[in-house]
């Protein structure tokens, strides 16, 4: 049932993104008096179709991973004298370019709309609160040693390299930009320590952060030794009667760690890693490290099973600080535009880093990862789903603007060349351009799917 839900949310997301992208091509083609023969969502066998009053065939295909707008084009079809004014091929190169870039442009417009709705609904942001500093880490050596035993202590990241970070996501974005950038040896992190601002310079050469940091790390602060996720679970209620009656687990216990007894492996897990371990290891004997009554106890128990997943039967306190942000209509529009510009710039930056080899190809992802992200965002609430749609729409627009054959950016290059000197456009050149594009897209598709499976 969970898989079906993921697939359904993924398909809905893709249809929205593709429909918006293709509508951009469609409406600007119409404005330039180009005849549109077909507006299709998906590829393959036609599931449903409808012919409009202007002769356009609207269709939904079997495989929803994409779509297309087929225009009257004398390079592909025989065009009669009366239809020459509607021929895409006979339009001025600037008109062709406007039709081509309209797809990505509408993706950016969709992002603004999604972000606007998100701020109207209200967005819950996870504050970048620090829960611990690893001993002998880069952060520790920079002097970031705080007394976390003080229950009133609250330390959160305020700026990274002078860039304000109001949420955990902001921190992730800024740190991701640093990966692959070897021109800056030090990273400046400003924190608010119980409201008092403090600055620290972290020496990244100690861990070779720029080359060895994996963007698949749950949090990019981990290599720095900064824990933004607590390494303990505070039990609020024990639902498992067996554990409760036998005093194995009690309300108020802190789960500090977990050890697989059969495999004899011990590791320092953070809160979410402990929960994931429990979920993915039903019917497994484990040893929990539990803090109770100012003492640490080792508790032996067996993880239960519920709906084919591991089940411990506890409710726990969520330790994070969240802030609900809701804006006026005017502020929502301003913030939505700013967010869209920010994500466009970040997307181009990360893409160029991959192209230049500053980031590994393992950071290229495809439909499986998008499906997981879509499902996760939907489960977190409508506001988070809107944010996901906005970010993915921007990514789709940015990728399509790359000067790669078959993508919109490749078509723009083609029409610029055509504008400069039409004689440069030859049949041999067109065929070579097409083959290069097909080869590149097939290669990138398989690479993306491989990475999706590898990091599943």
Work out the mean pLDDT of the chain and round it to a whole number: 83
At 252 the three-state DSSP class reads coil
pLDDT number for residue 43: 86
Q: How far apart are CA 253 and CA 232, in angstroms?
A: 10
DSSP state of 56: P
Q: How far apart are CA 48 and CA 27, in angstroms?
A: 21
Tabulate helix, strand, coil % of the chain (nearest 5): 45, 25, 30
pLDDT number for residue 75: 82
At 8 the three-state DSSP class reads helix
| Domain at 233-316: CATH architecture | Roll (2.30)
Cα atoms in the 13 Å half-sphere on the side-chain side of 237: 2
What CA dihedral angle connects 304, 238, 228 and 351, to 10 degrees? 40
Instruction: Select the more confidently predicted residue: 115 or 367.
Output: 115
| Residue 98 in tokens | 């406007």
Instruction: Select the more confidently predicted residue: 222 or 449.
Output: 222
Q: Do the Cβ atoms of 112 and 335 come closer than 8 Å?
A: no
Q: Do the Cβ atoms of 385 and 435 come closer than 8 Å?
A: no
Residue 264 — pLDDT band, cuts 50, 70, 90?
very low
Q: What are the φ/ψ torsions at residue 227 (nearest 5 degrees)?
A: -100, 110
Name 311's Cβ contacts closer than 8 Å, sequence gap at least 6. 278, 282, 303, 304, 305
pLDDT number for residue 218: 59
Helix axes 2-31, 382-400, angle to 10 degrees: 50
Domains 124-228+319-325 and 233-316 share a fold: yes
Count of H-run helices and E-run strands, the chain:
12, 19
Task: Assign domain 124-228+319-325 to its CATH superfamily.
Answer: PDZ domain (2.30.42.10)
Q: Is the pLDDT of residue 353 over 80?
A: no
Q: How far apart are CA 197 and CA 187, in angstroms?
A: 16
Proportion of the chain above pLDDT 70, given as a percent = 89
For the chain, the domains span 2-32+91-122+390-454, 124-228+319-325, 233-316
Q: Do the Cβ atoms of 54 and 39 come closer than 8 Å?
A: no
pLDDT number for residue 390: 93
Q: Is the pLDDT of residue 357 over 90?
A: no
Q: What are the φ/ψ torsions at residue 393 (nearest 5 degrees)?
A: -60, -40
Q: What are the φ/ψ torsions at residue 61 (nearest 5 degrees)?
A: -100, 170
Residue 125 — pLDDT band, cuts 50, 70, 90?
confident
Q: What is the mean pLDDT of residues 259-275?
A: 65
Most distant CA pair in the chain, distance:
90
Q: Is the pLDDT of residue 227 over 70?
A: yes
Helix axes 382-400, 93-121, angle to 10 degrees: 160
Instruction: Select the more confidently predicted residue: 73 or 426.
Output: 73
Q: Do the Cβ atoms of 213 and 119 come closer than 8 Å?
A: no
Q: How far apart are CA 106 and CA 110, in angstroms?
A: 6
b/e 179-210 (16+ beta carbons within 10 angstroms → b): bbeeeeeebebbbbbeeeeeebebebeebebb
Q: Where are the alpha helices (DSSP H) in 306-421?
A: 329-355, 367-380, 382-400, 408-420
Q: Do the Cβ atoms of 128 and 74 come closer than 8 Å?
A: no
Q: How far apart are CA 281 and CA 304, in angstroms?
A: 9
Which of these ranges, 32-36, 314-318, 345-349, 413-417, has the smallest mean pLDDT?
314-318
Q: Is the pLDDT of residue 99 over 90?
A: yes
pLDDT tens, position by position, 130-164? 888 888 888 999 999 887 766 677 889 999 988 88
| Residue 351 in tokens | 């893409």
Which of these ranges, 58-62, 110-114, 188-192, 438-442, has the smallest mean pLDDT?
438-442
Q: Is the pLDDT of residue 39 over 90?
A: yes
Q: How far apart are CA 355 and CA 346, in angstroms?
A: 14
| Residue 402 in tokens | 């790359």
DSSP state of 30: H
Selection from 319, 247, 233 nearest residue 277 by Cα: 233
Q: Do the Cβ atoms of 216 and 455 come closer than 8 Å?
A: yes
Q: Is the pLDDT of residue 211 over 60?
A: no
| Residue 22 in tokens | 């293709």
Q: Is the pLDDT of residue 183 over 80?
A: no
Q: Do the Cβ atoms of 185 and 204 come closer than 8 Å?
A: yes
pLDDT number for residue 263: 53
Q: What count of residues does the chain have? A: 456
């Amino acid at each position: 049932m969970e898989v079906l839900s993921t697939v359904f949310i993924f398909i809905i997301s893709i249809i929205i993104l593709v429909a918006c992208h293709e509508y951009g091509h469609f409406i600007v083609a119409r404005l330039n008096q180009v005849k549109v023969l077909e507006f299709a969502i998906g590829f393959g066998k036609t599931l449903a179709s409808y012919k409009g009053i202007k002769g356009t065939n609207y269709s939904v295909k079997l495989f929803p991973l994409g779509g297309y707008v087929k225009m009257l084009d004398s390079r592909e079809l025989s065009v009669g004298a009366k239809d020459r004014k509607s021929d895409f091929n006979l339009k001025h190169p600037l008109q062709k370019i406007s039709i081509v870039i309209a797809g990505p442009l509408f993706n950016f417009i969709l992002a603004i709309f999604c972000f606007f709705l998100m701020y109207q609904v209200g967005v819950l942001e996870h504050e970048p609160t620090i829960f611990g500093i690893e001993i002998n880490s880069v952060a520790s050596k920079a002097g970031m040693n705080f007394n976390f035993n003080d229950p009133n202590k609250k330390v959160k990241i305020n700026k990274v390299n002078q860039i304000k970070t109001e949420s955990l996501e902001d921190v992730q974005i800024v740190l991701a930009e640093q990966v692959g950038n070897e021109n800056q040896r030090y990273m400046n992190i400003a924190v608010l320590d119980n409201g008092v601002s403090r600055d620290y310079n972290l020496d990244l050469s100690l861990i070779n952060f720029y080359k060895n940091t994996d963007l698949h790390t749950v949090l990019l602060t981990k290599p720095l030794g900064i824990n933004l996720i607590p390494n303990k679970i505070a039990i609020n209620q024990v639902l498992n009667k067996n554990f409760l009656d036998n005093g194995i687990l009690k309300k108020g216990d802190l789960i500090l760690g977990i050890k697989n007894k059969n495999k004899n492996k011990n590791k320092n897990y953070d809160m979410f890693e402990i929960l994931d371990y429990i979920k993915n290891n039903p019917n497994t004997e484990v040893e929990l490290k539990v803090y109770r009554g100012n003492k640490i106890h080792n508790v032996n128990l067996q993880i239960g099973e519920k709906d084919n997943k591991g089940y411990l039967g506890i409710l726990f306190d969520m330790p994070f600080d969240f802030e609900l942000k809701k804006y006026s209509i005017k502020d929502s529009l301003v913030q939505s535009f700013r967010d869209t510009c920010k994500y466009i710039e970040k997307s181009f930056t990360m893409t160029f880093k991959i192209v230049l080899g500053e980031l590994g190809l393992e950071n290229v992802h495809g439909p499986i990862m998008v499906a997981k992200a879509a499902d996760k965002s939907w489960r977190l609430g409508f506001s988070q789903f809107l944010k996901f749609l906005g970010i993915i729409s921007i990514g789709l627009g940015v990728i399509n603007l790359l000067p790669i054959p078959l993508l919109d950016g490749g078509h723009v290059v083609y029409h610029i060349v055509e504008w400069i000197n039409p004689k440069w456009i030859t049949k041999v050149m067109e065929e070579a351009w097409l083959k290069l594009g097909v080869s590149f897209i097939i290669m990138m598709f398989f690479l993306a799917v491989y990475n999706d499976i590898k990091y599943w």
